[in-house]
Amino acid sequence: MENRVKTCREGMGWSQGELARRLGVSRQTVNAVETDKYDPSLPLALRMAKLFAVPVDSLFIDHWEQPS
């Protein structure tokens, strides 16, 4: 799933380590999310959105459309 985590993190001036510390996860997890290798759980996605003060659907972009 496409996401804007790296853009938001860099916008806050945080390193991957700093974001990981704030979220209570490992740097590997932050790196895997930013590189689209891993989709975070719903609680982690909500925490990320809260930290960056943005809506979840602007942080994680789902291109799915309802079939007509």
Binding flag, residue 51, other proteins (CB under 8 A): no
Stretch of 5-13, 19-27, 46-54, 57-65 lying at the interface with other proteins (CB under 8 A): 19-27
Identified binder of other proteins from the candidate list 6, 14, 22, 31, rule CB under 8 A: 31
Stretch of 2-10, 27-35, 49-57, 58-66 lying at the interface with other proteins (CB under 8 A): 27-35
Identified binder of other proteins from the candidate list 38, 47, 51, 54, rule CB under 8 A: 38
For the chain, give the secondary structure using H, E and C: CEECHHHHHHHHCCCHHHHHHHHCCCHHHHHHHHCCCCCCCHHHHHHHHHHHCCCHHHHEECCCCCCC
